[in-house]
Structure 1
Amino acid sequence: MTQKNGFPIQIPFLASLGVLCNQFGEGRSEIELDLRPHHENSLEMAHGGVLMTLLDVAMAMAGRSADSEDRGVVTIEMKTSFMAPGRGKLTARGLCVHRTATMAFCEAEIVDGEGKTVSRGSGTFKYVKRKPPQRPRAEEPGGDG
């Protein structure tokens, strides 16, 4: 079931940021974000953490879509290069460039509304079962308080 923001699964953090998923399948992904003031740093451009989030998610979605077992992924490592200020509407495109039975090796690029490259990233992702074991939350009895 596709969520209203286009993602095949619910990801509350991305929903709170306003990230939309345009493409998910066959080892590729495309996500987008219309930057708002709360996404910016003191120089009125995309905060580096926002850019890294977009790269991470674009790569993770590409890696997930390349897996016939419909497993999730967790980020093992990630490299990011920042090339230009991010402003306006940003689009991140991810590609799974290689996969093994347990890992996906991916790349992603973010472009602005004019097609200018803002940043690029590469990462390694480990395939995991979809549902992690449930842990009590800190506010629940038995939590880590």
Structure 2
Amino acid sequence: MRLVTLPDDATPPSGEAAHFRALEQLYRSAPINSLFRSDLTISNAGVSHIDFDVDETLFHAAGAVHGTVYFKMLDDAAFYAANSLVSDRFLLTTSFNLLFTRPIHPGRLRAEGRWISGKRRVYVAEASLIDSEGEEVGRGTGTFMRSQFPLSSLPGYRTAA
């Protein structure tokens, strides 16, 4: 888990910004993310970006990036775009449709998540996977629902006091 330290004269974020920073910390604290060189940024409600690096360690036996990488980054980007709108509960993925549009080559990629609809129990969000040349290599759409887990109960979710 990576902790962020603020300069002595910095004011901690509050409200929506504090929620976004806490979600970013939650992403970094997830054990699965120690397997990926990636970083989540939530700039606005309903929008997320995950920048990550791909190399040959993520290839399948035929020498291309394994489909789990597509799913992981697209699901995470869509999930965090949706959960940025929910400050009390952790969302769960209930379905995810994935389209592979091009092979992924080694390098820097970005998953861009966008909330589409829903603001009560079920949320719909989509994500695009963009390679270092600006080409889309995959896209997906997911549905997410509120869980029984309060965000405040998760050890990685920390808002400013």
TM-score by length of 2: 0.72
Question: Aligned equivalents of 1:84 and 1:42: distance in 2?
Answer: 18
State the partner residue of 2:15.
Answer: none
3-state secondary structure, aligned to 1:8? helix
State the partner residue of 1:97.
Answer: 116
3-state secondary structure, aligned to 2:60? coil
Deviation at 1:24, TM superposition (A): 4.8
Question: Aligned equivalents of 2:3 and 2:117: distance in 1?
Answer: 27
Q: Which runs of 5+ in 2 are unaligned?
A: 5-20, 155-161
**Of 130, 135, 139, which residue of structure 2 is paired with 1:111?**
130
State the partner residue of 1:82.
Answer: 100
Q: Which letter does structure 2 place at the counterpart of 1:73?
A: L
3-state secondary structure, aligned to 2:25? coil
State the partner residue of 1:71.
Answer: 89
Identical counterparts, % of pairs: 26
For 1:56-67, list aligned pairs within 5 A: 56-67=75-86
Count of aligned residue pairs for this structure pair: 129
State the partner residue of 1:135.
Answer: none
Conserved? CA contact 1:29–1:93, under 8 Å: yes
State the partner residue of 2:139.
Answer: 120
RMSD over aligned Cα, in angstroms? 1.9
Q: Which has the higher helix share?
A: 2
State the partner residue of 2:17.
Answer: none
Offset from partner CA, 1:82-139 (integer Å, 9 cap, x none): 000111211100001112311210000001000111000000001223348xxxxxxx
Conserved? CA contact 2:42–2:81, under 8 Å: no
Conserved? CA contact 1:25–1:66, under 8 Å: no
Q: Which runs of 5+ in 1 are unaligned?
A: 133-145
State the partner residue of 1:30.
Answer: 49
Offset from partner CA, 1:55-88 (integer Å, 9 cap, x none): 0100110011012x34211100000000001112
Conserved? CA contact 1:24–1:62, under 8 Å: no
TM-score by length of 1: 0.80
Deviation at 1:3, TM superposition (A): 4.6
- 1:43 and 1:89, CA in 2 relative to 1: closer, same or farther beyond 3 A? farther
Higher relative CO (CA 8 A, sep ≥ 6), structure 1 or 2? 2
